[in-house]
A = this chain, B = another copy of it.
Amino acid sequence: MRVLGVDPGSAVTGFGIVEGAPGNFRYITSGTIRTRPGDAMPRRLLAIHSRLLDIVDEFAPGAISLERNFVARNVQSAFRIGEARAVAMLAAAERGLPLFEYPPNLVKLAVAAFGHADKEQINYMIRRTLGLSPEVEFAHDATDALALAVCHLSRARAPRLVDAVERRPRAARIRP
């Protein structure tokens, strides 16, 4: 099983591909898609979209793992995040890939066994998990994307635990 993790942003979108299972993860590739600050949003979205399709076509992942956001600095920021997320969702649908979404604390839990781990801890744990020596360079912005891929692959180990955290409680239905 090979998974593409995507951490979408209108300026920088991180991506990372991992395959295998807990205890036997393999790092495949990772990087960032950077858009030009001077470009209008349609052009930036086009750049992110076509690059993601290229990555899917080159590395043939079986699923996409996307960050599910619950918070944003403000409404404008939420619009921008939604716009960048959409092109990743669209790429998944266009290539017929299942898309899974995980909230940040669940990703941290899966990677660092600690839901409030900071960026350095995640970076350290991702390197350890993927067996990358400290000399191996990969884009810092790609860490979150690799963590998303690892998070999805870790579901196989403890699906019920993950589901419990992932699912939000539904309103109870009361019948007379």
Residues of A within 8 A of B (CB): 40-43, 45-46, 49, 69-72, 75-76, 78-87, 89-90, 92-94, 99
Contacts and interface: CB of A to CB of B under 8 A. Distances in A.
13 contacts: A40-B99, A43-B93, A45-B93, A46-B94, A49-B90, A70-B75, A72-B75, A72-B78, A75-B75, A78-B82, A82-B85, A82-B86, A86-B87
Contacts of A83: 82-83, 85-86, 89
Contacts of A76: 70
A121 to B, nearest CB: 26
Contacts of A69: 79
A75 B71 contact: yes
